[in-house]
Structure formats: structure tokens, C-alpha cells
Amino acid sequence: MNQSGRTGKAGREVGGLGESPTILLVEDTEDNRHMMKKLLEMSGYRVLEATNGEEAVQVTSKESPELILMDLSLPIIDGLAATRLIRNLPAGNQLPIIAVSAHDTADFHADALAAGCNAYITKPINYPELEEVVARLMAAPKTKIQ
């Protein structure tokens, strides 16, 4: 047991030496990224960060995260284009990707799913909902996205 005596939702000790599941958080707004990172870490996840779609593709190819939270409105390469590029990486076609956006319209949802996202979460983030979707996708068997 670690010094805090806490176990995160990821089933790992928070702050312990065990290997935690890794999430890539792709968010260009610093305040949003900081808050989401802290909450994910408190749930027992290791969090990598990217601030644009180009970085997201680079980090994914080098670090092999187990799940990606992808903001859709990003500089350089937007979240939809980055998702399509990630799906073309060797392990990218089975990687769970959750679209994160302030846009809550059927068109945005459809575009995210068509680009290869597995789920869609709207901002402002409902953290219990986010934790449930992350846990569900992390536990699901990996299947290829067409």
C-alpha cells in the first residue's frame, strides 16, 4: 500500500510503484488540461499530454497509450484529422479514443464516430461520466475500427 493508502479507479495504488494504465490527454486549453490531468491521476491513471493534433500523433506513436482523450478543436491538426492519422498507426486501429468537445450536436457526434472515435464526451466535463466511459473502454476487448 502506498503512503496515501488510496487506490484509484484504475485499480492501482495512487502514487504507488505499480504500472498504471496510460491515457493521452489531448487538450489545447491549459486550465482544462490541468484539471482533467489531476482528476485522471487521482483515479490512478498515468497521464501523457499533447496540446495539438500533431503532438497527439507523435506521442501516440512513441508512447503507446492505452486510451486517448481527444479534444476536437485543436491547433495545427484538429482532433478529427489526428484521430484518422492515429487510426493508421500500427496499434492505432484498436486504441480507444474518446472525443471531447464543447459542441453537442448530432453532426459533431457523427463526425467524431466517422473519424474513428469510440465515444463522445461534451464540455464542461462531467467527471463521473468521464470516469465511467474511460473505465468501460479500458475494460472492453480491443477491436479494430474500420
Has residue 144 been placed in a domain? no
Tens of pLDDT, residues 20-63: 999 999 999 999 999 999 999 999 999 999 999 999 999 999 99
Report DSSP state, residue 93.
Answer: G
Has residue 135 been placed in a domain? yes
Has residue 14 been placed in a domain? no
Instruction: Tell me the CA distances in angstroms from 70 to 16, 32, 55, 83, 93, one per residue in order.
Output: 27, 12, 11, 8, 15
**Range of the structural domain that residue 104 is part of:** 22-139
Has residue 53 been placed in a domain? yes
**What is the pTM assigned to this prediction?**
0.86
User: Domain of 37: which CATH number?
Assistant: 3.40.50.2300
Has residue 36 been placed in a domain? yes
Domain count, the chain: 1
Has residue 10 been placed in a domain? no
Q: How far is CA 126 from the centre of its chain?
A: 14
Has residue 13 been placed in a domain? no
CA distance 15 to 97: 25
CB 28 within 8 A of CB 51: yes
Tens of pLDDT, residues 11-23: 444 444 458 999 9
